[in-house]
Amino acid sequence: MGTLWELALDVLLPRACAHCRRDLSRADGPLCARCARELPPPADPACVRCGGTRGAAPFCASCRKGPFACRLIRAHASHAGAAASLVHAFKFRGNRRAALEAGRRMALSLALRPELRGFDALCPVPAHPSRERERGWNQAEILAREIAAKTGIPLLTILERTRKGAPAWTLGRLERSTELAGAFRARGTAHGRKILIIDDVAATGTTLEACARAARQAGAADAAAYVFARAGSAT
């Protein structure tokens, strides 16, 4: 009965690819097969923290100045093309399947990034409770739970956001730093844990740095970040 009902829904309410808007078959995910193959990868070689190409590896000239609480930032894709459309689908159009697909892809590529091995806990960037109510979920937590399910790395949801703040895309780097100062705190201990912070998009990297700072204040021995997409240079 469930299969017949799903088939009927596909006929009456056909799903569209999140990027090119072509009709999807029941076998397709939120992206059609062609768009799924065309997710733009992050540029390589890249600074292991910001993803930029300035200066010699493993750190660009800017990131060598440090120190940073978030030791490195890695992304599955560049925030462009089909990857940007997938983010938009789960962040602004309520498409939970798109978030699950992004998390699945992050989990598959995690093993291909040696610099992200050895972390013993996944920590999603927390959303303010009012923002989570508006969207119906915290997309970073969906990504983290999907990665945890596929990799066996446990979830550690010890961070909370204490202030809502303005949407990230409306602020510049300096404004973001001011906006996020003290906006995250730990509600538990991360003593000795190696924390991999999970989020959907890194732009300036300010949110990830603020979360890593809170995790280290809670006793984390290491903190890094893994996001689905990188927009620009996350320094």
* Every domain range in the chain assigned CATH 3.40.50: 39-230
Tens digit of each residue's pLDDT, the chain (235 residues): 444 544 444 444 568 999 998 888 776 789 998 999 889 888 666 677 777 665 556 777 777 777 899 999 999 999 999 999 999 999 888 889 999 999 999 999 998 889 899 999 999 999 988 888 888 889 999 999 999 999 999 999 999 998 766 555 555 555 655 667 678 999 888 999 999 999 999 988 889 999 999 999 999 999 999 999 998 755 5
Cis peptide leading into residue 45 (ω within 30°): yes
Cβ neighbourhood burial of 62 (10 Å; 0-12, 13-18, 19+)? middle
Helix axes 96-110, 139-151, angle to 10 degrees: 40
> pTM for this structure?
0.85
Structure letter (DSSP) for residue 115: G
Residues in the chain: 235
Class of domain 39-230: alpha beta
Strand partners of residue 31: none
Long-range contacts of 169-175, Cβ-Cβ distance < 8 Å, separation of 24 or more:
169/203, 173/204, 173/206
Task: Of 211, 208, 202, 204, give the one whose Cα is nearest residue 157.
Answer: 211
Instruction: Return the half-sphere exposure (C-beta side, CA atoms, 13 A cut-off) of residue 155.
Output: 16
